[in-house]
Structure 1
Amino acid sequence: MSDKSNVAPRVALVCGQWGQNIGNAFFNIGGDYVLKRVFGEGGVGYHQDQPNYRTLHNKFKGNPANYVDFIRHLDIDYLVLQGPVLNGWMRKSWQTTFKALRENNTKVILLSCAFFKFDDGEISAVKSFLEDYPPALISTRDSRSYGILEEWLPSVPKYNGIDSGFFLNRCVAPFNVREGVRYITKNFDRYPEPEILTSDPGANYNSKKVEIEGEHYWLSVPKFLDSQSHKGKVRAYLADVFDRRKLGRDFNGKMVVRLEHRFFPHMTHKIYRQPNATASDEPWTYVNIYANTDFTLSDRVHACVASLCFGRPAMLFTPSPRQALFGRVGVSDIRDKLVSLDLERLDHEQEAEIGWLRARV
């Protein structure tokens, strides 16, 4: 029997930008699991994302002139892109690469993909690009994206799939915490962290009344901080400098663990200003924490994804249209209250997506 341990992978999964958003790692790891179920353990490897997709850079300017686009030199059968890759700068990021791959007979798969803003300009730009460079397969992560793509490119198979981050519970085995350790998780990178109050704090706060563990609380943020944070990413970071609140270490006798998904640029004054805080450029620390939490409150989509797939309740605080991926797994009301996933339904969705992909590669 021949030794296949040294056989090179034939499927390149685009990954990276973990430092600026560790949530990318969550769906990268989940996507790796999906593709290995489809192509086999030795069939899949990683390759970096394009460098124009980085924090505080005008993505429409494209990749640096001296960037070596090494993907085109790989002897592979498939290149796989994930996440909100259906964006307005898709052509600037990928046209040169896709053209070279087509000349090399390498196919492209869009796995667990989605639009970024869902506006008319973005949709038109993506449609034009995909007509020029049609992928071999498209699987979306939310029904809104699928509804837009469904009638495009009739010859390209399409599937109304789920976010690859929802496969984390199958491919990462988190540590357990010690007996008696109880905590909740709060992760607010962009918007101010809400305080959990037992009464309405009044007109100077934006508040939402929610039920937590059988009791009603007000989740409240100062109006000034809240309004500034919605005026753009730079304004949000500037507003954070003026957040003088001293937030609590615990809630109902449980520790409050505060995570930051943006490790780079490393804004130490922001990350560690409040107690029980941490940030890392690797994903496993985060998965361990989300997998054992009593519940998660976050403005990060994938903080909620990671918590939910391990059976932990979560509530989301962001107006981003990328929240559409939660409707696909039956928790579209995640911005209104703490929600939990039906894990049997999730298991069915996971197997259905893998089965669909296997039948078409």
Structure 2
Amino acid sequence: MQILLLQTWIANIGNGFIDKGARVAIERAFPDAEIIEASGHPNLVGGRKTKGFLPNVFSSRDESAYGELYRHSSQTPLQNIINVGELVDVDVAVLPGCILYEHVLEKYYPVFEKLAEDDTPLVLLGAGGGDYDPETQRYVKQFINEVEPAGIITRDRDAYESYSDDVPRAHDGIDCAFFINEWYDPPTATDEYDVATFDKQTTPKIASDRRTIHTDHYPFEQPYGNLWQKIKKMKSQWKLFNKENVFVSDSLRDYLFLYANTRVTHSDRIHACVPTLAYGNRAQFWFDTPRGTLFEKVLDEDIQDKPVSVDQSLLKRAKQEQVEALQSIISHSL
């Protein structure tokens, strides 16, 4: 069997943890399958180039209807871009991550068109949304009605309750990045330290007698972003580089080394906390977002109140259930 793993983009390094965690889940479900990875970066570029260098100041949303960016224009970068996923013959495609909103689905429109043309089933794995507002749900349901995914494994209860009735098969699962410790086993660090990863707000005062390493999850700033995105990122990085012990890398393994060895991770980034928990360490999440409900699937304590760790036996069970659900959904789709 050949399985196409459609990835998003590592403009945000945390997306890479999702992609590699998804690969682990697929390998566990189908150990003999050939997995073909296809980055969504071309589609990010095409989408952003199509939207232009100046932001739409009148709306916080990208598009109001599924396919609007692609279909309601001609000879745009999004129409001209090519993705590896359009050039391979596979049995099934899998798209993981925070994908259930227009920011991702619009950019992947041409790939979905090709999958439909080839009668290739699509499975959404560890899927969640940026939010679950009525407008977002309406948009995602348009996508589901047009693309007809074979099934969905969600990463939070809100996503499951919003979309499980719209697909043939669904499972109330967990975020794919919880599998990341099975993808890479980092060496042991020589020093003790904490990690602070804050891209959205000012780093809070952290009480610790250990060194604090300040990481940035946007190692490439905002590639092909509009003017506002670039200015906003540059401004936040000016503050970052005035700190001591700053860390920026283009390597997933470098970040995972830090999260596997940290005593505590403090962050407003979900995917600084998830790998920290997966490696058995403590994390505290410092941001209020609908995406944060994914922690409720594996934690008994509130990760926003204090540093917490995950019950590894509970996590192991949830991961096995996710693997079995993926086996079932893909087997029924073929």
CA distance in 2, matches of 1:152, 1:118: 15
TM-aligned CA deviation for residue 35 of structure 1: 0.6
Asked if 1:76 corresponds to 2:90, the answer is: yes
Q: Partner amino acid for 1:306?
A: P
Q: What does 1:101-250 align with in structure 2 at a 5 Å threshold?
A: 101-153=115-167, 156-178=168-190, 181-196=191-206
Per mean C-alpha deviation after superposition, the further-off stretch among 144-153 and 29-38 is 144-153
Partner of 2:113, secondary structure, is helix
The answer as to whether partners of 2:46 and 2:79 remain within 8 angstroms in 1 is no
Task: Give CA deviations for 1:280-303 in whole Å, capped at 9, x if unaligned.
Answer: 112111111111111010010010
Q: Which deviates more, 290-299 or 332-341?
A: 332-341
Deviations along 1:31-59, one digit per CA (max 9) or x if unpaired, are 00111112225521210115454699455
Residue 214 of structure 2 corresponds to: 258
Instruction: Give the AA of the match of 1:173.
Output: D
1:131 deviates by: 1.0
- The letter for the 2-side match of 1:79 is A
2:237 is the counterpart of 1:276: no
Which amino acid in structure 1 is aligned with residue 188 of structure 2?
A: N
Distance 1:259 1:121 in 2: 34
Over 3 Å counting, the alpha-carbon distance change for 1:85 and 1:348 in structure 2 is same
8 Å Cα contact 1:115/1:145 also seen in 2: yes
CA-to-partner distance for each residue in 1:176-198, whole Å, 9 max, x for gaps?
Answer: 022xx21111111121100136x
Change (3 A) 1:147 1:16: closer
* Cα distance change on mapping 1:333 and 1:134 into 2, 3 Å: same
* Superimposed CA distance per residue, residues 196-230 of structure 1 (whole angstroms, 9 cap, x where no aligned partner): 36xxxxxxxxxxxxxxxxxxxxxxxxxxxxxxxxx
1:86 aligned counterpart, secondary structure: coil
Q: 1:37 aligns with which of 28, 51, 61?
A: 28
1:86 pairs with 2:100: yes
Partner of 2:303: 334
Asked whether the equivalents of residues 311 and 340 of structure 1 are also in contact (C-alpha less than 8 Å), the reply is yes
Alignment of 1:286-297 (within 5 A): 286-297=255-266
Q: Is the 8 A contact 1:326 1:332 kept in 2?
A: no
Identity %: 29
Gaps (5+ residues) in structure 2?
52-61, 64-68, 71-76, 223-233
Task: Note closer, same or farther for the CA distance 1:41–1:184 as it changes in structure 2 (3 Å cut).
Answer: farther
Aligned length: 294
Q: Which has the higher helix share?
A: 2
Cα distance in 1 for residues equivalent to 2:304 and 2:47 = 27
Q: Which amino acid aligns with 1:196?
A: I
Q: 4+ runs of 1 displaced by more than 6 Å? A: none
Q: Which amino acid aligns with 1:314?
A: A
Higher relative contact order structure (alpha carbons within 8 Å, sequence separation ≥ 6): 2
Conservation of the 8 A alpha-carbon contact between 1:271 and 1:279 = no
- Greater Cα radius of gyration, structure 1 or 2: 1
**What is residue 345 of structure 1 aligned with on the other side?**
314
Q: What is the TM-score with the length of structure 1 in the denominator?
A: 0.76
Find the counterpart in structure 2 of residue 27 from structure 1: 18
1:298 to 267, 270, 273: 267
Give the Å deviation of 1:269: 3.4
The CA deviation at 1:99 is 2.6
Matched, 1:320 2:292: no
C-alpha displacement at 1:90, in angstroms? 5.2
- Evaluate the alpha carbon distance shift between residue 80 and residue 320 of structure 1 in structure 2; reply closer, same or farther with a 3 A threshold: same
Task: Provide, for residues 292-346 of structure 1, a one-character-per-residue CA deviation record: whole Å limited to 9, x for no partner.
Answer: 1110100100100011111111111112211111011125611122111001100
> Match of 1:123, as an amino acid?
Q
Consecutive unaligned residues in structure 1, runs of 5 or more: 1-8, 198-250
Change over 3 Å in CA distance of 1:32–1:91 after alignment to 2? closer
Give me the whole-angstrom Cα distance separating, in 2, the residues matched to 1:84 and 1:186: 22
SS for the counterpart of 1:45 is strand
Query: How far, CA to CA, are the matches of 1:338 and 1:278 in structure 2?
Result: 21
Partner letter of residue 28 of structure 1? D
Structure 1 stretch 33-42 or stretch 299-308: which is displaced more? Answer: 33-42
- With over 3 angstroms needed to count, the CA separation of the structure-2 counterparts of 1:289 and 1:35, relative to structure 1, is same
